Structure 1
Amino acid sequence: MRSLDEELTDLADHYRWFAGVEAAPVSPRYAELAAAVARDDDVLAFLGTLPTPKRQANLLLGALQYLHGGPPRDGAELHERVLGDADRLRATMLARATQTNEAARCAALLPLLAGLPGPLALIEVGASAGLCLYPDRYGYEYHRDDDEGGVRVGSASSPVQLSCEVTGRGPVPAAVPRVVRRAGIDLNPLDPADPDDVAWLQALVWPGMDARRDRLTAAAAIAAREPASIVRGDLLAELPGLVAAMPADCTVVVVHTAVLAYLPAAAKEAFVELVGGLPVRWVSQEGVGVLPAVAARLPEAPAAGERRFLLALDGEPLAYTDPHGGRIDWLPAAAALARAGGRQAPSRGSSRACEG
């Protein structure tokens, strides 16, 4: 059994890694704060009182933002907040979880969703507040390197407007799909109509990303006006029932982004087996190494330290995407979809071709 000192040494390494690899390219403030945690024995000792899954950098820094209305100015203020408000901070970190809900990821999902026979019934695994269940309520602009004007689709009047750079010979959608049902599963669903839940989501947005925070607020307002049905529970237990409850004669799509990394390996394997046996289409957008069976189908091994997500349809990798939305780098396998205008035939023996 490992000693607490060994665990705290590893924890300091985690915060140093987070500072240099995750935060530094996009949020200098978070990089500075995470590096300060790695040097602060008192803060590391506080984290050592929490269960291992609750020690992560995103959760600590998000909780500090949530409780104090913004991030600490520097490592000294972080130290003061942690030690001076330890009880509230501990309670918040135990009660909450990192549930980043980035609507911009829909820009990568849309080209696949728009090519499926519609209308669609969407089921999001790890839905959080369900903001990725509304791809038809947002506006989009896609830009290729060789395209001067770009392609605009979706709602021009939506308060959520998403821009996406595209490389490679994959599909660009001509329109948004018709969605007739929205449902999700989460261990701790968040309510987009609850100001406190929205405040928590806002606190998970890193400093320096004001556009993401504004987009989140606008997407939450859309979701609050048209609530999705999000079930509290385990995805393996709840998914079959949700699929069975979807409207007849519709294409049911199971979708998830940045979720399965939080599952143990055995649970991920069980999920892949489960979704493969259901009459659904499966759209995944996860870190490259999260689903080994999907990554194994890449035409070549990804670069070491690859930070992009891998977008796949029914386990077939089709593109690399930006973790927070805004970019699609299509793989060669996506060219067939582009030649078909993005249209995809039913698969897995499902005949849920939709009624208009």
Structure 2
Amino acid sequence: MGVTAADIYRTFASREASGVSPAYERLALAVSRDAELLALIETLPPAKRQPNLLFAVVRLLGGPVEDAAAFRAHVLANWPAIEAEVLTRATQTNEAGRCAVLLPVLAALPQPIALLEVGASAGLCLYPDRYAYRYDSHLLGDGEPVLDCTLTGSAPPTRVPTVAWRAGLDLNPLDVTDADDVAWLDALIWPEHAHRRARLRAAANVVAADPPLLVRGDLVDDLPALAALAPSGATLVVFHTSVLYQVPAQRRAAFVDLVRRLPGHWIATEDRRVLRHDGLPEPPGEGFHNVLSLDGTPLAWVRGHGQAVTWLG
């Protein structure tokens, strides 16, 4: 028997929402025990059963996500509209805070760099040179927003990267100047995270002032042509954060094979169950951690929204 919707919601509550969003932890646990809601969720294609997708759609449509009973009643009463929206949407969380965990690696590469993000959403993570950073008490850069990150196991970086070119690839690129697209990005932010909503607005202003090249396409079929547009005098850096869990395993393997053969470097920030590495130590403390890797070599455990980095070794 495969993974059930109940399993998915239980795992989301314990691995991802616990200690990060009390509202989504409560909601996911309640859904995991609700036979009627689970039966509806099981009618969706497997890729559309993610808690974050359903919760964000309910938020987008003006429904309640703080109270489990109100959420249940709303979903049962409005399932056709919710289902239609879930089927047309994907989780495209575009968290600028993730630049804080990428920055130490980006700054250490030969400069200038040509940034190419796979699963770029609206492209907010393509501007690590434009934001400011606070690593514990160490300030770096002078832009907005200021991204806070706790570093363990290394000194903070001393410079921001020099970005000569930036481009993104996505099945459905979002536009920060489109109110509907920004509403979806906002809906994907978890209920209690007001600081992330403010960060989204500030980062969207940066992107709107100097839009990147965003290409609608597939991470295997269309990556080589986009990578070929990078200027020859810059170090190509292909990167992605929390994207590969949405890609079927066979396609994921084809992408890894392709990206390893491209010139330049490959930075990944992914769940260790999705992009596997041998011999990893246990992640630090509580909460869900991804693995930050460079060219397939794991470097650090990182929190999902860029709030902490713990370097390996």
TM-score range, shorter chain: over 0.9
Equivalent residue number for residue 314 of structure 1: 295
Matched pairs, number = 313
In 2, the alpha carbon distance for the partners of 1:207 and 1:55 equals 19
Equivalent residue number for residue 51 of structure 2: 57
The amino acid across from 1:182 in the alignment is R
Q: Deviation per CA, 1:323-343: give whole Å up to 9, x if none.
A: 1112111122xxxxxxxxxxx
Q: Deviation per CA, 1:63-118: give whole Å up to 9, x if none.
A: 000000x6334222112211222222111101111111111111111111111122
In 1, the alpha carbon distance for the partners of 2:255 and 2:286 equals 25
In 2, the alpha carbon distance for the partners of 1:112 and 1:95 equals 35
CA-CA distance at 1:303 after TM superposition = 7.9
In 1, the alpha carbon distance for the partners of 2:263 and 2:78 equals 50
Q: Is the 8 A contact 1:12 1:37 kept in 2?
A: yes
Cα gap change, 1:310/1:72 in structure 2, threshold over 3 Å: closer, same or farther? Answer: closer
SS of 2:57's equivalent in the other structure is helix
Question: Which of 16, 19, 22 is matched with 2:10 structurally?
Answer: 16
Q: Comparing 93-102 with 32-41, which one deviates more in the overlay?
A: 32-41
Equivalent residue number for residue 94 of structure 2: 101
Describe how 1:147-296 pairs up with structure 2 within 5 A.
150-155=137-142, 158-169=143-154, 172-292=156-276, 295-296=277-278
Equivalent residue number for residue 81 of structure 1: 74
Structure 1: gaps (5+ residues):
144-149, 333-356
Q: Is the 8 A contact 1:107 1:162 kept in 2?
A: yes
TM-score normalized by the length of structure 2? 0.93
Q: Comparing 132-141 with 41-50, which one deviates more in the overlay?
A: 41-50
Q: Is the 8 A contact 2:153 2:312 kept in 1?
A: yes
Question: Which of 96, 111, 114 is matched with 2:107 structurally?
Answer: 114
Q: Is the 8 A contact 2:6 2:31 kept in 1?
A: yes
Q: Is the 8 A contact 1:309 1:322 kept in 2?
A: yes
SS of 1:237's equivalent in the other structure is coil
SS of 1:79's equivalent in the other structure is helix
In 2, the alpha carbon distance for the partners of 1:52 and 1:281 equals 32
In 2, the alpha carbon distance for the partners of 1:33 and 1:302 equals 26
In 1, the alpha carbon distance for the partners of 2:41 and 2:6 equals 10
Structure 2: gaps (5+ residues):
none
Q: Is the 8 A contact 2:130 2:144 kept in 1?
A: no
SS of 2:160's equivalent in the other structure is coil
Equivalent residue number for residue 84 of structure 2: 91
User: Over aligned residues, Cα RMSD in angstroms?
Assistant: 2.1
In 1, the alpha carbon distance for the partners of 2:227 and 2:249 equals 23
SS of 1:236's equivalent in the other structure is coil
Q: Deviation per CA, 1:135-180: give whole Å up to 9, x if none.
A: 011001223xxxxxx322112xx230012211113x5221111212
SS of 2:61's equivalent in the other structure is helix
The amino acid across from 2:288 in the alignment is R
In 2, the alpha carbon distance for the partners of 1:262 and 1:323 equals 15
In 2, the alpha carbon distance for the partners of 1:224 and 1:32 equals 36
In 1, the alpha carbon distance for the partners of 2:260 and 2:295 equals 8
Equivalent residue number for residue 131 of structure 1: 124
Question: Which of 14, 34, 39 is matched with 1:40 structurally?
Answer: 34
Cα gap change, 1:24/1:303 in structure 2, threshold over 3 Å: closer, same or farther? Answer: closer
Question: Which of 53, 65, 70 is matched with 1:72 structurally?
Answer: 65
Identity %: 50
CA-CA distance at 1:297 after TM superposition = 5.7
TM-score normalized by the length of structure 1? 0.82
The amino acid across from 1:237 in the alignment is D
